[in-house]
A and B are shown apart, each in its own frame.
Chain A
Amino acid sequence: MPLPFGIRKALSTACAIFALGAVAACTPAPPGGGLDDPYEATNRDVHEFNKSLDRAVLRPLGQVAAATPREFTGPVSNFADNTGLPGMVLNGMLQGDIGGAATNTMRFLLNTTIGVGGLLDPAGGIGLYEESTDFGETLAVWGVQEGAFIELPVLGPSTERDAAGQIVDFVLDPLARVGTRPQIEYGLAARGARIVIDRGQFMQTVDGLLYDSADSYSQARSAYLQNRRFDLGEAPPVEETVIDPFALDLEGFE
């Protein structure tokens, strides 16, 4: 049941202001794209909580999803992805990325119509792929600093900037205005299911990272920051990304 417009708008505005306030309080990024983790102790506690949640809920569900034929999981993933596109179009426009916004608009229109309400992905078939973006990226484009690393309960690794972005994306999702009835009603459920399906598809990688590594918190933090900065076109988080392969001393190693 969608919220009445007035309440929704008031909530949106309040949250947007809260989010911007939170961002303004972001700690400045360390020079040279280093690591900023002043909340490490709390983050590690949250990480352990998230791991126990994964063990109890997400991983078992992911195993079920992995054993389910793609004929069933594929349409759910497509539907979920498609409901995220209006928000990406909005963010693209806020970033001045007209090309990305146009691609995502075309994708949304094609998949919602020819793609049977978004269950199929004919747009991908003609090379029209999602230009993935979110409000965290919009904030980055607007010059907001990344802030400290934080691990959010349930949602996982993030930064101060990205966490604020997640709140804004959730509250200001234009799907309620432009989506079809099934998209508005089942969009959130489908996005939840998509998380389960992805957990199933990348079972080995996620298990390896969470349960086989010596320090899963550091590995998750590092992977998140590297990937996020890659997506946003920012400097990689660790200086070692420019390891000079010719400068390594290999005496005794070969």
Chain B
Amino acid sequence: MLGKLIKHEFRATARIMLPLIGALLAVSILANLSMRQVGSPNAGQSSVLNILSTIALILFGVGIMAVFIMSIVLMVQRFRSNLLQDEGYIMFTLPVTAHGLIWSKIIVSAVWFLATIAAIAAAGVTSVLRMRYIRDLIDAIRQALPRLTASQAVDGTAAVIEMVLIIIFAAAVMCLIFYAALSTGHGFANHKMLLSVISFIVYTVAMELISSLIANLFTSMGWSLPFYNTLGPSGRFHLTCGYLMFFMAISGAVFYVITAVNLKRRLNLE
């Protein structure tokens, strides 16, 4: 049933996210043309072209902000309207568990966050892309590959995997903080959104405090462990990534439990 929930969640969100991402990529092509115009020797000769170039560059900036903000707004809005308002009467009477409902929301939101990051990166690259740069990049890769040792290749691959995992974990934890706050606030009879915002602030501050405490503990004790000093730079990088993922997994689990308990025991559909 999780697959079906995910399918319908994608159907509900793709109608907003796909056109936005498509528009951003289209604007990035315009931005590329604008930058060529601005950087060309003929720049300044045509005021109309200059105005159009400036508009395209502004649109590009606005587009990046819009896609980024929309992916967060959509994640909050879908959870609230689909589970905590009228649509909740349908969703919570489906033959699925509350866990299935939460996971479907987390997975789809995390996918859209990743897609947003990828789209912004692609748009950024597109906006400055020149054929000359692509040729230079391919040449640089060709020259670097034969010099790469096996351990560097493994380290590099591991680092890329770790970075992707950290982004996925961070996206999931961000969703779960919002979900925990919304489900807490909406469990009350009145002032649901105000109490959701207050819950969000409380949860965020609590997480920051605990992460600072743990980081201090590590710097005062953990980092002075004998094996840490024996690690090279890449070993320390992997250890730090591991710590980050571990901390995010723990905090994600706490917010997941808060959300699940609220949806099971304190569900308060009007």
Q: Do A and B come from one complex?
A: no
Q: Which B positions have Cβ atoms within 8 angstroms of A?
A: none
